[in-house]
Structure 1
């Protein structure tokens, strides 16, 4: 029964959310070590932290875009009578 709800769109959104989760953990580690920026033993630079933040925001915006397009396509399929809701009637 649960397998009927799994399709390419759902998997794309779930994959995007997993990538965002991994990116969030990595960015959190960077922010924790950001207090050492400028010291000789620092692994990060201000530019590196900025780019990590920009990439993370890009992941978030991409996931929002994928979810929005999925919502639009599923709504249009249901309106046309091709979605899973149409099969139940």
Structure 2
């Protein structure tokens, strides 16, 4: 009975597969929005100011960072929680695939969120006159919270890893 329960629990990991497929679908949506934004940029080219060009480029960078984040979550999440991908001989296989554990995934996720937040802040600062000071203040505070969370998460992972290393090296006392 115990073995059957364990097999059932282990097989339940496949319930995550539709979620990763859904995330792949949202990646398609981001590609659509990216191409739409690029199309608007091309159509506005004759009347584009420097600030508009920079803001448009930042919006495209923002979308590509979000897409990169989705791809990292999809591939490493699938490989960490569902099944290893048999892609060792594929020439386009990313080097990090198979090496990003849950801890690394969390750090990449937070780093991406901080980068996306930075891009949003940069867009706001490029057009600072259009935003009320209170909104800018809250955006900076939220960005700093993301940044501090990332640093604390990295510190907790470092402490955990350092503690594991110390346990391995520390000689047993009689």
TM bucket (normalised to shorter chain) is 0.7 to 0.9
Structure 1 residue runs of 5 or longer lacking an equivalent are 37-41, 82-89
Alignment of 1:22-61 (within 5 A): 22-34=116-128, 36=129, 42=130, 44-61=131-148
TM-score, normalised with respect to structure 1: 0.76
TM-score, normalised with respect to structure 2: 0.40
Q: How many residues align?
A: 73
Aligned pair partner of 2:152 in 65, 68, 74: 65
User: Relative contact order (C-alpha < 8 Å, sep 6+): which is higher?
Assistant: 1
Matched residues in 1 for 2:118 and 2:148: separation?
14
Matched residues in 1 for 2:126 and 2:163: separation?
45
Q: Which runs of 4+ in 1 moved over 6 A?
A: none
Shift of 1:47: 0.1
Structure 2 residue runs of 5 or longer lacking an equivalent are 1-94, 169-174
Q: What RMSD in Å do the two structures reach over aligned CA positions?
A: 1.5
Shift of 1:12: 0.6
Kindly name which structure, 1 or 2, has the bigger radius of gyration based on alpha carbons. Answer: 2
**Can you list the C-alpha shifts for 1:32-83, whole angstroms capped at 9, x where unaligned?**
111x2xxxxx3x11000000000000000000000000000001112222xx
